[in-house]
Each structure stands twice: as C-alpha cells, then as structure tokens.
Structure 1
Amino acid sequence: MVRSSAFASRLLAATGVLLLAACSSAPAPAGSSEAGSTFVVATAGEPDTLNPVLNFGVDGASLIFDGLVTRDVKNTLVPALAVELPVVSADGRTVTAKLRDGVTFHDGSPLTAADVVFTYRAVLDPKVDSTLRSDLEMLTSVTAPDPATVVFTLRYAYAPFLQRLTLGVVPAQLLSGQDINKAAFNRKPIGTGPYRVESWTTGDRLVLAANDTYWGGKPANRKLIVAFVADDNVRAQRMRAGEFDAAELPPKLAAAFDTAAGYTVQRVPTADYRGVMLPLGHPVTGDLAVRKALAVGVDRSAMVTGVLAGAGEPAYGPIPPTSEYADPSPAGKPSADTATATALLDAAGWAPGADGIRARAGQQAAFTLMYPAGDSLRKELALAVTADARKIGIKVSPEGLTWDAIDTRITKDALLMGFGTPYDPDFVSYKLFGSQFAGQGYFNPGSYRSPVADKALQDGRDQADPAKRRAAYATFQQQLAADAPWVFLTYLQHTYVVKDGITGVSPRVEAHEHDVANSLWWNINTWTRQ
C-alpha cells in the first residue's frame, strides 16, 4: 500500500503548474548533443527514501540499484549481479550465489560479496526501520566464504526465496557504522544500476544521470528526470503541453489522448487490485451476510466501464488472472446480483426500514468507507460502491481522508485499499490475510482469521512442487471467497501516455507499487528516439 510524501507538493499560484527548470518543453536544437539525450517522465508517487534496505525498489527495476537477480519483460527471473541464477540445495535451506565479475558501484568501488552480506544483514537488524524484515524471517544467516560467493542459510525451506533476491545491493563501506534510518545515503545513494542520482528535490523531481560503466551496457540516453506531480489533472495538462515524454495518468485522463496526435496510450496489465477492506470487529461489516451481500451486489463490470474507462477487469480475489496460481472458480461468482444480495440480508434478519436502509436489533446497516482524499480513482470506486450498496439497503458513507487520519481508524472502519503483486502469491497475501498479522497496521487491518486460509497460505510457501502450491492457493482463494473479508472490485490496467517517436517501450505485468521503480520506464535505459 503506497503512502507517498509526494502529496506534500504544491503548485505555483502564478502559473498553476510547477515547471521543471531542467526540462523546458522546447526541444533542443537539431544535431545538438542534448537532442534526444534526456527523458522526462511523470508520476504521482514520490518515494520516502532511495535506500533499498528501507524498501525502495525492492522488486527490482529501481534504475539506481541491482539485485542478485532481476526480472525480464515476462517477469521471469534472470541473473543480474549474480552471474547465473543462485543454486538452491536439495533441502531448500541453502542458497548459493556467485557474483558477476567486474561490477562497480557508481563511485568506482568494486562490488563484492561483503556488500551483499551487509545489505541483507541490515534488513534483518532490528535497529533498522526496514519493513522488509518480516519478508526475510526465514533467513538465519548470510555469509561470504570468498569475495565472489554469497551463501544464504534458511531456517526453513521457502519456495519463492529466489524472488526475494531482487533486493538492491548497497555498498557496505558507505553505510557501515551509520544509523541507516537517518543516513545521507537515503537521499543520495550509490548503487550499481544504469543511473546514478544527480539530485532530488522533494515534491518536484528526481534527476538521474547515466552510469556509463554499467555492467549491463551504457544507457542509450544521458539523463532521466522523474517529475513528481501529485495532481492527476495537472499531470495531464503538463503532458499535453509537451513537458513530459511519458506520464502515468488515471484511465479517464489517459483516454483523452487516444485521439490526440503525437501520443500513444499504453494500457498495461497488472496485478494491482482495488477492493473494500471490511473490518470484522465492526457491528455491521463483521456480519458475514452483509459482507457476502456486498460481494455479490456490487457491479464490477460497470466500475470497469465507468470508472476505469475500460482499462481493467472485474476482481474476485487477490491473485491476478495473469498468475499461474489464479483459481478460476471465484470468477464465476455473481456480480450486480441484487436479488441474491437482498435474499442473504433477509435471511440474516436485516429488514428494510421506512427509508430503505436495513436494520437488525436496533443496528442500522450502515458503515463508513474511507479512501485517500488525493486519489481520484479510489474516490470514484468508493462512490460506486456506495450507490450499489444503497440498492440492497446498506448505507455506506464515503469519506476522503489523509493517510494520517486513516491510520488512526484503519482497524475500525472500511477502507478502499489497493494491493497486488504479479510475482508470487505469498508476497502480499501471506501478510494481508494471515491470522498472525491481524490488526497490524496495513498488513491485516480487518483482523481476518481463518485456520483454513492460514494453513493454505503456509502450505503455499512451504511446498516447492508447483502443483502442490497451486492446490494450496486454490484452497486459499476459495476460503477467502466464502468468508468475504474484502469486497474485491477491479484489477487495474496502469495507463500511461507516451510521446510518439520513442522506441524501446516494453510493458510488462505490473505490481501495485509503481512510481520511480517498476513503472513503464523499468527499462528506460534502453529507450531511444526515432
């Protein structure tokens, strides 16, 4: 769940837009060394840090750092800092990685196994405020028997461990002995990636310069500027004004560029879902009949058409249709079925009042639905849920709030949330729906508890056999559909507008989190202009 400091950015009152000093919309003179050498992209989200240990770009494609492995255009794991995919022992508890020769950090210092060891030990250090620590709870030790070899020892076999090795590696010599939580490195880091940080102006832009000694080959362009523009409409206006080469936009705003000359709209498939988290401790949403009535009563197809402008598909669970672990059976659940929804409520004793709102034992069928006030897409989805719920006699009160305000109420009130990963179902679902994480902030805020789901989630991470993993996640998805702790609404397509004449754009299935890292520009070091 991204909570971005970019929402603190402000517009200049005199112009209504915040112009980038280094990115005039006027093209460089033909034949000049600057022509075509800089790409400017725009996103709503801004990271809080640029340190992978503190959760920046941990799934790869951060552009500044590399992990031992990375993902290609099909999200298949391929070697990065490791010369080949790390080797897993027969018992699944030892993983050995051999480093690529000749890799250097941006400051020219060589990458060694000691840097990899330091990176992972820093994540495990309880003094470091890393949200990744629970992701590596299976890791007991990381050692370097020689400068080119790293050995990971696991407490137990963990099927998707290699996918955790996308974590960007940081240089030990620059962070050893420091308070990593407050290190200057977090804003001006040194990595091994295709770009180095030139400057970062909070609320405005991040400027990245080409790393000409990049082990993967010299970038095809000299500079990348990432503009942070929180307001969707302003971002669209500036894209139309020619300030950006590519911009992330909500579906409706992106659709307006379909008929505009000089632009291409990229609709990228994702694992990024939106849904209503329903707290089980609430007197209304804690009732199974209410939750199931909402799950069958909402009109997902109308949301895809009306809210997403067609850029998405209905969602019935947290594992995306693009995943080999997706269970097709939840997709057969009814949607916009008011007859079934009202029958469920009738049977549970929720009777309609004079105003059409149901009640039971003096409790009105009403609850608040929170959403982040700055997110126009979630607002529209919240309003759609409100309208659909009213049709079956449930009163939903949508409320746009700051993230700080949401934090204080997340275990008590429903929330329009977003999550999702295309990589492995364990990555998000284990924390989001596991009983052991109940009530722990954004991990399992609704306090969902199910022994069946818990066992299935555990089996999914314990089993190396793909068939057994598929069976485990099918059980999990079916149990989740039966309990309905969330009302899943839609899977999004992430929509971007790109200027014509740019080559090398290669969309791949994206995760929920995408801004500087893991966006359409994951491979922008290979982009060129015609």
Structure 2
Amino acid sequence: MRRVLRLTPPRRAPGRRARLLAEATRLALATGLVLATGLVLTGCLPRPTAGNRLVVASRNRIDSVDPAGAYTFGAMQVLSAIGDPLYAIAPDGSIEPRLAVGLPELSGDGLTARVELRRGVRFHDGTPFDAAAMVFTLERFLAIGKLSYLLGDRVSGVRAVGPHTLELQLKRPFGALAELLSAVNLTPLSPTAYRDHGRRLLNERFVGTGPYRLTFFSDQQQRLEPFADYWGPKPANAGIDLVSLSNSTALFGALTSGEVDVLLSTSLEIDQQADLRRRARQGLLREGSGPALEISYLTLLTDQPPLDDPKLRQAVAYSLDRRTISERVTLGLRPPLRDLVPPSLPGAEPTAWVSYDPERARSLYREAGYCQGKTLALPLTFRSNIPSDRLFALTWQAQLREDLGDCVELEVSGMESTTAYRQLGEGAFTLILLDWMGDFPDADSYLVPLLACDREEGDRCLEGASAASGSFWASPGLQAELQRGAASRGEERRAVLQRIQRLTAAANPYVPVWLVAPRAWSQRQVSQPRFDGSGRAVLQELRREPTRP
C-alpha cells in the first residue's frame, strides 16, 4: 500500500526543542546552498522547440549505456527507453510480459524455467530478436556484468530450446523470477552489433529493441530518436534529448526559466522540490511521482564497540525521531520508514522497527552504563556531497542534544560518498547514513544485499553482503530463512519475509529512516510525467499538448 505524504507539518508552539531543531535545519540549509554553486549555461542545452521533440534534464552523468556496465539510476533510466525487458512492472505492482508472451513456466522441482518470447521483434540494426539473441545477452551479462550477481546467484545456465523458447536452469527455486527478469540490465542486445564485444563493454553505443534508438552519446547528453520498426506503441513525441546539469540550482533554474521541458528529481534539493510542487499546485507546472522504492537507513557496526552491545543498538533505534526529522529535513516529502522493504512491495512489514521513545531509550542507555555522569560519544558519518544527509545529521544531533543529551552525543562528520563506499566493508564506520534501491522491485533485492552472509561465526558475518554493507551482523538460521523466502510464493513467502524483518529489527544492525519516491516536473504545455512500477519515468509517453487556460 502506498503511503500518503504529509506536506504541511502540524502547527504547534515553537518551544525550545523546536527552535533548536529549526536552527539546525537552517544552518544545514545555508551550508548546502553555499555548496550548490553553478549557473545554467544556456549554450550547453538543446533548446526546446515548438515541435514535439523534448528536452529532459537531470543530474545523472552517465558513463555507460552497456547493460553489462551500467548500474546507476540515470543509466537505468536511459536503458528503459532504448531497451526492452522480458517483463515490466506496472505502476500497481503487477507483472506485464513485454518481450515474453507469458509468465515463466516452471518444472515440478522449480529448477527449470521456460519463457516463450515474442515473435516479429527486430533490433535497431534490423536483425531479428529470438531465443539465441537472448541467450547471447544473458551469457554476456554473466561473464562481464558489473551486476552479474543478479543472475549468477540464481541461474546456473541458459539455452535456446526453440527459435523463440528460452530455458533457464536455476540453482535453487526462486519465486520472483519474473520480477528478476524485469531488470533492465537484462535487456536483449543484437548479437550482430555486439559480435566484437561479447566479452568486453561497449559503453557509448547501444543496439537493442526499445522504442527509441540512441543516436548520440556523451556522459552529459544522450539523443534518442523514435525507432520506426518498434513492435509496440510508438513514442508520443518526436524524440528526447537527455541532458545532465552539474547541480540542483542549475536544474531548478533550467526548468523555471523554460530551458528544459521536463526535470527529473534525482539529486534535486528538498527546498527546491517543495517550490516546484507549490508551482505545480498553482498550475504553473505539471508534477508526476512514482512508486517509493528507495530507502534511506542507518548502518550500525555490530562487531566492534560500542555498538556490539545489542542494548545500545536498540537504544539508538528508540532515539530516532523520524517524524520530526522528516518534517524538518525533507518538508514531509520523504515519509518515515520502519521497514527495510518499501511498503508497496509484498513482504513489507511497515512497523517492524520501533518508533521514537526517548524514555525507553534513556532506560537502555542507563542499563549500558550511561546517563549518570557518562555520555556515549556516537560518531555518525554522512555523505558530504548529498545535501539531505547533512541536514539529517545536524537535525538528529540537535534532537539528541535536547532530548537525551545527558546520555548520548552525536559526533557528525562528512565524507564524500565514493570514498565512504570503498571503506564500508572495512568496518570503518560506527554509524553511517546510506540509501538503497533494489535492482528489481521485489523484497529479495532489498533483504539479500543487506543480510546475506557466506561465512559467519555466531552473530558475526565474516564474509558476504552483510560484511560488505558495513554491519557485519549474522544470526543463526537467518540464511536458511532468506533461501526459504526466495523459494516460496504467495502468503507463505510474505510470512517468511516479514519474519526475517522482525528478526532483523530485534537486533538493529540497520535502522530504517525514510522512504524516497521519484518525482518529475514538466512545463504546462507538456503532458504530466508518469512512472512505471520500477520507478523510472516513461519517456515515450511524454508529449507536447495545448496549454489549458
């Protein structure tokens, strides 16, 4: 079930605590705005025209359009327009066959799956799409894909058993196979076009089956032209120019000055998102939003002091005032989250983690030996290049100082995100704020990357995803539960996934913070942006239309 965002905080008297939090937020906002420099250079943008060709802006610099090498949100957005998956996820969460003609047919033991493919589909180079092309694509992805684990952890082999019949051998039963095959990284490629790149990346060119052809590529601009021989509905526009601008201020200015037709909200600062939402309500712009599939969470280092003490981890969980922080930091645009799985996905457990309770937190800090003349110094690392992270850190610091200052002191420090990611698996951070969006919309793609462990010792993960994610947490029987959840379906699977989250919430190796939904804004003369069930804007539906008075 999708949550309704509260846009206006309730009115109340500005007491000392509220003033402290407001001052921390103003300080962080001022810092973020000083850092957000740069103006829109109109000469660098394709000018919007009176025709039906559109300019779509974001902050997504793209290094590769090779599905085997792409992994960023921006690259996935481009690939969703120039490639086709076997399956797509509709906005309501249902599965839609695309290049497949029906759902996978599973053998009795669940280890063999057959997928019938659509006939009459052609690649952008005019060659036919068939099962052999799909095998070529999947084997190439297994061999060189940066996200090859998506397939490699679950599939042992693929083969064509007919001109348009694909067979997959699974390592173990997997109930969300169709959702996995909706991952845009698995979009088919023309074996002819990629003959010389079967085992190496082709970063600047793409030949697939999607509604657009890629006719120009650089890391800051991509030009998409409608594919005349596309098998499905033709794009509603005459083409798309995707452009990347350097920062949030430049993006905001480009939309409000009419330099671009559509703006995707990735990396746009919160106050500017709120301003655009206000303009949309006034009829000056159009706004669209997609399913909230990105989660933000705290990772707690569980195998070293001080957070190797489960009581202290639970105290930290009780110390997080999500509602106030969401209102102060995100103006209510990002609702509080007490779950590692987005609430819209089957298997979510929306109240798994405890809610804010300062008295319960104080009691736990006392049991651990604090609050009686001794204060826990708790270091929190935030990603310095992400404005909302800085806002969160300073606001939570102020909240703890006011409510639990005799028990715990948050020591905040920033680190550039790529540096932080490199050090995460080394156990470098006692407490760090991160975010995650699954590679495909299913609970498995949220729980496994955070909880899977290949080698464990008691409650410590020595090797595996849990260690790489910086928590190093393990629990006896958890890996068997993860496999049981992956293999089951329906209500049985839902129950297992919810049980996994309750078990994790009791140990608090992670503490969910808030939920992020993608947004986009368009000019009044452009149709309202719409998103698919994987959280990507549907570019082929955008069109210029008469402005209503």
* Structure 1 residues 19 and 200, CA gap change in structure 2 (3 angstroms): farther
SS state at 1:307 partner: helix
* Residue 529, structure 1, aligned to residue 545, structure 2: yes
Amino acid at match of 2:369: G
CA contact (8 A) 2:302 2:471 kept: yes
Aligned length: 485
- Cα deviation 1:21-74 (Å, max 9, x = unaligned): 45225x43xxxxxx1x21222222333321222345679971111121122232
Work out whether 1:497 is the aligned partner of 2:521. yes
Give the 3-state SS of the residue equivalent to 1:53 in structure 2: coil
Shift of 1:177: 4.8
Indicate conservation of the 8 Å contact 1:67/1:168, yes or no: yes
2:451 to 421, 425, 433: 433
Q: 1:165-188 CA distances to partner (integer Å, 9 max, x unpaired)?
A: 12211122233453644x3x3211
Question: In the TM superposition, what is the alpha-carbon distance from 1:117 to its structure 2 partner?
Answer: 0.3
Give 2:126's match in structure 1, choosing from 100, 108, 111.
Answer: 108
Deviations 1:155-202 (A, max 9, x none): 221111121212211122233453644x3x321111110111121222
Kindly provide the amino acid, as one letter, of the partner of residue 222 in structure 1.
Answer: A
Contact 2:286–2:527 (CA under 8 A) maintained in structure 1: no
Matched, 1:334 2:359: no
Tell me the residue number matched to 2:58: 43
Structure 1's 444 and 192: CA in aligned 2 closer, same or farther, altered over 3 A? same
Report SS of the residue matched to 1:237. helix
**Deviation digits for residues 380-429 of structure 1 (CA, Å, limit 9, x no counterpart):** 12222323343423233332222342134312202211113472111121
Q: How many Å separate the matches in 1 of 2:419 and 2:119?
A: 49
Matched, 1:118 2:136: yes
Q: Percent identity?
A: 23
1:282–1:412 CA contact under 8 A, matched in 2 = no
SS at match of 1:62: helix
**Whole-Å separation in 1 of the counterparts to 2:290 and 2:369:** 44
Corresponding residue for residue 383 of structure 1: 394
Tell me which amino acid in the other structure corresponds to 1:200: F
Structure 1 pair 91–250 and aligned structure 2 pair: CA distance change class (3 A): farther
- Contact 2:140–2:198 (CA under 8 A) maintained in structure 1: no
Residue 287 (structure 1) aligns with: 309
Matched residue, 2:335 = 313
Q: Does 1:23 align with 2:46?
A: yes
Partner deviation per Cα, 1:454-512 (whole Å, 9 max, x = no partner): 33222110213x111111111111111101111211112333322223336334555xx
Residues 525/334 of structure 1: CA separation in 2 closer, same or farther (3 Å cut): closer
**CA distance in 1 between partners of 2:148 and 2:78 (Å):** 14
Amino acid at match of 1:420: M
The residue number in structure 2 matching 1:252 is 271
Aligned counterpart for 2:211 among listed residues 184, 194, 202: 194
Gap change, CA 1:299 and 1:451, over 3 Å in 2: same
Give the alignment partner of residue 178 of structure 1, picking from 183, 186, 197.
Answer: 197
Counterparts of 1:334 and 1:415, CA distance in 2: 19
Instruction: Tell me the equivalent position of 1:5.
Output: none
CA contact (8 A) 1:91 1:157 kept: yes
1:270 maps to what in 2?
292
2:479 & 2:77 partners in 1: Cα distance?
25
Deviation readout 1:427-461 (Å, 9 max, x if unpaired) = 12112112228565785322121124333222110
Q: 1:72 to 1:267 in 2, by over 3 A?
A: closer
Contact 1:254 1:265 in 2 (8 A): no
Contact 1:207 1:224 in 2 (8 A): yes
Partner of 2:472 in structure 1?
447
Q: Describe the SS at the equivalent of 1:40.
A: strand
Quick check: 1:63–1:194 contact (8 Å CA) kept in 2? yes
1:446–1:259: structure 2 CA closer, same or farther, 3 Å change rule? closer
Q: 2:65–2:78: 8 Å Cα contact kept in structure 1?
A: no
The alignment partner of 1:153 has SS state of strand
**Bigger mean CA deviation after superposition, 67-76 or 387-396:** 387-396
1-side partners of 2:475 and 2:62: how far apart? 34
Kindly indicate whether the alpha-carbon contact (under 8 Å) linking 1:383 and 1:398 is maintained by their aligned counterparts in 2. Answer: yes
Shift of 1:134: 4.7
Give the alignment's TM-score, normalised by structure 2: 0.82
Q: Secondary structure at the match of 2:504?
A: helix
AA paired with 1:298?
Answer: L
Determine if the alignment matches structure 1 residue 52 to structure 2 residue 67: yes
Q: 2:225 aligns with which of 209, 233, 238?
A: 209
Cα 1:230–1:475 change in 2 (3 A) is: farther
Q: How far apart in 1 are the matches of 2:351 and 2:134?
A: 42
Structure 1 residues 22 and 271, CA gap change in structure 2 (3 angstroms) = closer
Is the alpha carbon distance of 1:371 and 1:42 closer, same or farther for their aligned partners in structure 2, counting shifts above 3 Å? farther
CA RMSD of aligned residues (A): 2.6
8 Å CA contact 1:255, 1:265 repeated in 2: no
Residue equivalent to 1:8: none
CA 1:256–1:463: 2 relative to 1, 3 Å:
same
Is the 2:326–2:334 contact (alpha carbons within 8 Å) kept by the matching residues of 1?
A: yes
Paired AA for residue 415 in structure 2: L
Measure the CA separation in 1 of the matches of 2:170 and 2:39.
54
Whether the aligned pair in 2 keeps the contact of 1:271 and 1:320 (CA below 8 Å) is yes
Q: Give the match for residue 138 of structure 1.
A: 154
| 1:478 pairs with 2:502 | yes
> Structure 2 residue aligned with 1:157, among 167, 170, 173?
173
What amino acid is aligned across from residue 375 of structure 1 in structure 2? Answer: I
Which ranges in structure 2 are unaligned for 5 or more consecutive residues?
1-34, 456-460
Q: Match for 2:441 among 401, 423, 447?
A: 423
Partner residue in 2 for 1:64: 82
73, 77, 84: which one aligns with 2:95: 77
| Structure 1: distance between partners of 2:524 and 2:495 | 45
| Aligned counterparts of 1:98 and 1:53: Cα–Cα separation in 2 | 23
User: Contact 1:453–1:476 (CA<8 Å) still a contact in 2?
Assistant: yes
